Structure 1
Amino acid sequence: MSRGIVAVIAGNILMLLLSSDMIFSQPAGEQSLMIMFYNVENLFDIYDDPATDDDEFLPRSERRWNYKRYKSKINSLYKTISAAGEWTPPAIVALCEVENRKVIEDVVYGTNLSKFNYDILHQDSPDPRGIDVCLIYRKEIVDIISRSYFIPETEIGGGFKTRSVLYARCLAGGDTVHLFINHWPSRRGGVLAGESVRENIAQMLRYKADSIANSTERSAKIIIMGDFNATPNDNVVRMLSDPYGSGMSMINLSETQMKGTYRYRGIWEMIDQVIVSDRLLFCKQGLYTTRENFRIFDADFLLKKDPVYPGKSPYSTWAGFMYQGGFSDHLPVLLELRVRQGVNR
């Protein structure tokens, strides 16, 4: 039997094992599942969408964005998601900077991720460039009870437009968890650029989180995650942690990270974050997590020696308009949820 045939058989056996009995890891008798957030840096297809400003990512554009480069980007994303889960891909993956549903389908159904029964939550946002947030989830592990998309109030009636916030109420491990997926406006042009919109989104998120908490007697398990284009110490992010009407505390797990997910002029910034409700940290049954269960996924293949500043930076697809063929200019973040057996909500 040739080595090639042996390799194919071995690979198929491994995939079969991963997609069945190894859905959950079981440290100390507890089940667990992984959640991932990743800014994938401009995942555009190669086709012109007349409704959005995507001209920068076309074969005839200055970037020369063609099928070969697009396919490489898809495979890079598949590799990152697979590696992040170690033995098995994460149960939930939230992504931002995706152009449309088709590019997500190419990741989920056009690679070996198709073996893991992912489904997609996505809706086109008002963003002028056409970039959106989305959620993919493994259907044998996660049920979506409800979903909705929120547009910052500043956009009602016109004005500045940005990405929608995706909300999903999920059932996993016999328990309910509420997810909010974000990609806030960038600080391009300075820290204050887009600040009022970021504040608007933060107020909206906190109001909705408090509404959920009040309707569940503060037992709700809530995760707010995304690229906030602000650090954990910025006032606009701290707005999410302040205990408002519900009295529920929200804890930013990203505050303790010494490194960061994005590097600007040699300085690491922690702008991709995960914020959780106190119930998720301190509950005694059902889904829970700890501060130690949050981490940056900084595998060596996602990093590259910085040509200007000391150390390494994320191995991005682009350096300005120069194509590098890397993965993304951000690093992913991971949160492990564990399941204590008992009566769950």
Structure 2
Amino acid sequence: MAPELVVFYNTENFYAPQLKQYPRSDIPKSGLRNWNEARYQNKLLKFTQVFNYLRLEEGLLPMLIGLAEIETNQVLEDIVNQDVFKGNYAFVHYDSPDQRGVDTALLYDKTKLELLYSEVYSEIFEGEIGMLPVPSTTRDILYARFRYGPVELSIYVLHLPSKRQKEVGMAKRKIILDKLQRKIRDKLLQNPLENIVVMGDFNENPTEANLQDFVAFNNKSEIVLINFFEELYNKKKFSTFHRSEGLLFDQIILSPAFLEQENSIEFLHAKVFDSRHLIERSPHNKKRGHPFRTYAGTRYLGGYSDHFPVFIKIKIKVK
């Protein structure tokens, strides 16, 4: 069989159009003032251009696309109805309890993949406003299981808490990743050749402690998962930036089965899709290589996203 792409893309605040204008003193949960129909349609156009560029540069469209920062089914329905997807794609999405109303989602090529099962895992933390305890929710981890030719794929899509509250966010990310690792270890104990893909915006680089602990266990003596994006990060390949600092928060992590000789599916390579078409063209050249984003703070730029997509290429082995 021909190689296939599996993509993850943080779309940067892909909300449905707002139905009213907000005054400067009243900011909607999206944080986006004047997110209107015209800007939404431009976002749809930019999203489809990303996948047209991917098809031109890599020779094919992905069979799976994990997404972050998607608001509603309406957005996903509008996406799959775009010409680039030729009516071949369906989606998996659940509304999460996230305070800003953005979720993870999956697009899949239904001519290649059969959806067998899906669910979400939620995490609720205790927080505070003043002296009052309040629940603090996160975006769900989306789980889906597919049949792909002779094999099955288990897919997890996540968007972990941000780094804005450094210590709090790090602790939350650790709790979520530890629980997910336990689920995955249980699966691999039952079937060491299970094909597991964990993709998302981890809000940490591959070399940071939480990610290192996630892929290994027992003081790193037991390899649970394999992260090829660590090598890319060490080569200074970045998917997003904070000021001038390059970051590789967007990663696709695999179970060891993808490297096993007796498995029917194999990993070929990983890549950050930092196409020149998606790069910001700053007049002062201060942001060389940065993604052309939709917003910079509250200033509308009209770009694609503040993240580049990332992907892996895999292939069914011919026997």
In the alignment, structure 1 residue 229 sits paired with structure 2 residue 203:
yes
Q: In structure 2, what is the equivalent of residue 215 of structure 1?
A: 190
Q: Describe the superposition over 1:250-269 as per-residue Cα deviations: whole angstroms up to 9, x where unpaired.
A: 11111011221011111110
In the TM superposition, 1:83-232 aligns within 5 A as 83-86=53-56, 87-109=59-81, 111-152=82-123, 154=125, 159-189=135-165, 191-216=166-191, 218-232=192-206
- Residues 38-49 of structure 1 mapped to structure 2, 5 A cutoff: 38-47=9-18
Per the alignment, residue 248 of structure 2 pairs with: 270
1:283 corresponds to which residue? Answer: 261
Question: Does the 8 Å contact 2:294/2:302 carry over to 1?
Answer: yes
Cα distance in 1, alignment partners of residues 265 and 302 from structure 2: 38
Post-superposition offset of 1:223: 1.0
Structure number with higher strand proportion = 2
| Secondary structure of residue in 2 paired with 1:31 | coil
Q: Is the 8 A contact 1:262 1:330 kept in 2?
A: yes
Is the CA contact (8 Å cut-off) linking 1:31 and 1:339 kept in structure 2?
yes
Alignment of 1:19-34 (within 5 A): 30-34=1-5
Answer whether contact 2:185 2:224 (CA < 8 A) is retained: no
Cα distance in structure 2, aligned partners of 1:271 and 1:114? 27
Whole-angstrom distance in 1 between the partners of 2:207 and 2:248: 10
Q: Which of residues 36, 40, 52 is equivalent to 2:7?
A: 36
**1:301 offset after TM fit, Å?**
1.3
Q: Secondary structure at the match of 1:159?
A: strand
Q: Which residue does 1:24 correspond to in 2?
A: none
Equivalent positions of 1:64-75 (< 5 A) are: 64-75=34-45
What is the distance in 1 between the residues matched to 2:293 and 2:85? Answer: 25
Q: Matched residues in 1 for 2:261 and 2:145: separation?
A: 18
For residues 43-62 of structure 1, the aligned pairs below 5 Å read 43-47=14-18, 55=28, 57=30
Per the normalisation by structure 2, the TM-score is: 0.88
Letter in 2 for 1:36: V
- Contact 1:186 / 1:193 at 8 angstroms: preserved in 2? no
> CA contact under 8 A between 1:107 and 1:113: conserved in structure 2?
no
Q: CA deviation at 1:154?
A: 3.3
Task: Check conservation: 1:317, 1:327, Cα contact below 8 A.
Answer: yes
Structure 1 residues 102 and 176, CA, compared in 2 at 3 Å: closer, same or farther?
Answer: same
Q: Which runs of 5+ in 2 are unaligned?
A: 21-25, 128-132
Cα distance per residue 1:36-93 (max 9 Å; x no partner): 10000000012469xxx98255xxx872111111000011111112322333321001
Paired AA for residue 120 in structure 2:
Y
Which residue number in structure 2 is paired with residue 7 of structure 1?
none
Aligned CA distance change for structure 1 residues 125 and 282 (closer, same or farther; 3 Å): same
Q: CA offsets per residue over residues 169-228 of structure 1, 9 Å max, x none?
A: 111132112111010011014x32411210111011101111111121x11111111000
Contact 2:29 2:100 in 1 (8 A): no
Cα displacement string for residues 99-145 of structure 1 (whole angstroms, at most 9, x for unaligned residues): 11111111111x10351410110000010110000001011101111
Question: Match for 2:84: what amino acid?
Answer: L
The answer to whether the Cα contact below 8 Å between 2:226 and 2:253 also exists between their aligned partners in 1 is yes
Q: What secondary structure is seen at the aligned counterpart in 1 of 2:226?
A: strand
Deviation at 1:278, TM superposition (A): 1.2
Structure 2 residue 315 is matched with structure 1 residue 335: no
Superposition RMSD on alpha carbons, in Å? 2.5
- For the residue of structure 2 that corresponds to 1:97, the secondary structure is strand
Task: Report if aligned partners of 1:34, 1:85 keep a CA contact under 8 Å in 2.
Answer: no
Secondary structure in 2 aligned to 1:106? helix
